[in-house]
Structure 1
Amino acid sequence: MTTSMERLLAAVNGKIIDHIPVFCNLLDQGARELGLSIEEYFSSGENVAEAQLKMLEKFGHDNVWSLFYVGKEAELLGCEKIRYAQDGPPNVEDFIIKSYDDIARLQVPDDISVLPAFAETARCLNILKREVGGKVPICAYLTASMSLPAILMSMEKWMELLMIGDKDVRDLLLEKCSDFFRKEIEAYRQAGADVLVYADPYGSTDIISMRLFQDLSLKWMRRDLEPGGVDGVVYYVGGARLNSVADQVIREVGIQTYYPGPLEDIGESMRIINGRGLCAGVINDIRLIDWSPDEIRAEVKRIVQGGLRTGHKFFFGTVVMPYGIPEKNIMAMIAAAKEFGRADYVAP
């Protein structure tokens, strides 16, 4: 029986064993799976791991997640207040950088893996590694140094500093964020994560200008990833578009897996990457809340066939699936991705 890891490795090599890998980013849904509140659910690495394994069995996709919520990274740097929603992801409530003076005082931990705030994440990873390690890709989410300041000081204040602030203060913050990223990615690698999602919305020209991307984003991207290399790293720009920058990232950084936003032309994404890496075809999963199963099937077919027409270094993925998506729609999406992504499928 083909494993999800075998499916992924085949795609990396431009082959399809039975069907393309189908990645489904089910996160907050784990609380509902276990009948817990969002806050209670994310209080335990055992809860998160149990729900990931239950959802894997229920839906039959090809990945599991060690991600709790993005604010976990702020907690690793000292955030003590997280706001919990009833039906969505937790968010940072109290930013640890309130003034530029706080940037100079910000301390990057020497070893992420020993922090109390990492303990439940490590427990989750240990369980996932024990249960499905080597068979199912285990995903981790890591915020790039260019994007991390947004959850430390707010997006508004980070944009102000980035665009018109003191460059020395900006670069000090970026250096500390990059130092943190280097330690974080090593901690996740050591704990057993296979797929390291390099999340960088500020690495898309949807957010910043091409000049700023070339002058800053590429520089800090190289610094972030230089120590451990790019094995297992996925370039993800938070659902934004990456076609305008993909070629530069391939040539200058060497990342080999790309996760375009759902608004991209997937055929164009595949042509730009041109066999130099693996590319995801990504659905606009907000629409899954209201679409019918037939509408979902048609959209999945469009994405999958649009990607496979240009090559087989391809997989199917979602962004961050809203809590309110009906389970029947999740099942319809995954079933369609497997059907239209079969090795023997020929579009009528």
Structure 2
Amino acid sequence: MTGMERLNAAIKGTPADRIPVFCNLLDQGAKELGLSIEEYYSRGEYVAEAQLKMREKYGYDNLWSLFYVGKEAELLGCGKIIFAKDGPPNVGEMIIKKYDDIAKLQVPDDITSHPAFAEELECLRILKAEAGGRYPICAYLTASMTLPAMLMGMEKWLQMLMMGPSELRDELLAKCSDFFQKQIAAYRAAGADVLVYSNPFGSTDFIPRKFFNELSLPWMERDLGPGGTAGIVYYCGSSRFNDVIEAVINRLGIGAFYLSPMDDIAEGKRLIAGRGLTCGVINDIMLLEWSKDEIRTEVKRMIDAGKTGGKFLFGTLVMPYAIPEANIRAMLEAAYEYGRIEGPQ
């Protein structure tokens, strides 16, 4: 079966050969092509080539159009990105240094014409041409509630979010939500199949439940309202969100949940109750030091907790650049082995 067939079977709860396995290898593409990380992320064709090569090499079920998260800040005016030698690029300047800068923030009328976004679209075009319909292509989007942290820094954003001034906070959130709506529409038009909606502020690990209900949910509704939730995967970074799943299903209608490694998979599966796809996510930072046996034991534990009854996917989180290739293979081979489906589910 193809990755797309496995994903569709998992979503619908229909038979498949094994559960879908998503592996988020991003910066490793530079190593695959023998390029520096800065050079690698300069061209969409490089990212697409590496994505296709790594999927073929390891056999997992997805592809990524994502370059690095800071690209969203570039689209809004950030002119400095810090490129590490062995890790993800980072935002090098905050474009909102004082409250007056919020009024100056401009959301591009057409983000597809921005040179930084044009390379992502070129990557998507190549992936679609080479593997469209066979392997789901993932795009990454930062929620309006989270994007300000990349524009003004986490500390300043938390202060404004919690203590105001509320009118400036809402002005910034509205601009970030407008940007999100343009971005997701562009990804959909370009053919992205899976839209990962990243919002750590959609977890009560970050904010109190009352704040989640009164602020987070309404802004998520604004983000997703125009285009709907088809293809959306709810993702809170590494933050837990089992306790908000019911509210997210009821208010937003999202049908796929990329759990935190700290979430109880069996509990998440129980809460979703067949109304969507449960994605069990390994703490892949530990792949830097775990032995092969430890990796296999953890993968088996996770799949045993989620596979029964179907509608389950095995996934990774950030996949640090320095993970040994042998450990990547050990994890994936265990996921393929323990994820095999035999007989009715």
* TM-score in same-fold range (> 0.5): yes
What amino acid is the match of 1:332?
A
TM-score (norm 2): 0.98
Residues 7-29 of structure 1: CA distance to partner in whole angstroms, max 9, x if unpaired? 00000011341000000000000
Secondary structure in 2 matching 1:46:
helix
Is residue 2:240 matched to residue 1:253?
A: no
Q: Distance in 1 between matches of 2:14 and 2:266?
A: 18
1:240-295 deviation line (CA, Å, top 9, x unaligned): 10101111000000000000100111000000000010010110000001111111
Alignment of 1:337 onto 2:335: yes
Deviation, structure 1 residue 191: 1.2
Partner of residue 99, structure 1: 98
Q: Deviations over 1:141-195 (max 9, x none)?
A: 0000000000011001100100112000000000010000000000111111110
Could you tell me which amino acid in structure 2 is paired with residue 315 of structure 1? L
What aligned pairs does 1:48-59 form with structure 2 within 5 A after superposition?
Answer: 48-59=47-58
Distance 1:44 1:155 in 2: 29
Residue 321 (structure 1) aligned to one of 312, 319, 322: 319
**In the alignment, what sits opposite 1:111?**
110
Q: Is the 8 A contact 1:16 1:342 kept in 2?
A: no
Match of 1:127 in 2: 126
Runs of 5+ consecutive residues of structure 2 not aligned to the other structure: none
Work out whether residues 11 and 20 of structure 1, in 8 Å CA contact, stay in contact via their aligned partners in 2: yes
**Which aligned segments of 4 or more residues in structure 1 are displaced greater than 6 angstroms?**
none
Alignment correspondent of 2:290: 291
Name the SS for the 2:300 alignment partner. Answer: helix
Over the aligned positions, Cα root-mean-square deviation in angstroms equals 1.0
| 2:204 alignment partner in structure 1 | 205
Aligned to 1:308: 307
C-alpha separation between the residues in 1 aligned to 2:15 and 2:21? 12
**1:9-20 matches, cutoff 5 A:** 9-20=8-19
What is the identity, as a one-letter code, of the residue corresponding to 2:79?
Answer: E
Which letter does structure 1 place at the counterpart of 2:233?
V
Q: Aligned residues: percent identity?
A: 65
Q: Residue 225 of structure 1 aligns with which residue?
A: 224
Kept in 2, the 8 Å contact 1:196–1:233? The answer is: yes
Q: TM-score, normalization: structure 1?
A: 0.97
Aligned length: 344
Quote the Cα distance in structure 2 between the aligned partners of 1:180 and 1:123.
20
Q: What letter corresponds to residue 107 of structure 1 in structure 2?
A: Q
CA shift digits 1:52-100 (9 cap, x unpaired) = 0010011000001000000000001111100011110000001111111
Amino acid at match of 2:14: K
CA distance in 1, matches of 2:29, 2:6: 24
How many Å apart are 1:345 and its aligned residue? 8.3
Alignment of 1:260-279 (within 5 A): 260-279=259-278
Deviation at 1:308?
1.6
Checking the alignment, whether the CA contact within 8 Å between 1:339 and 1:345 is kept in structure 2 is: no
Q: Which residue of 1 aligns with 2:182?
A: 183
Can you list the C-alpha shifts for 1:92-140, whole angstroms capped at 9, x where unaligned?
A: 0011111111111111111111111211101100100000001000000
SS in 2 for 1:26: coil
Cα distance between partner residues in 1 of 2:43 and 2:55: 19
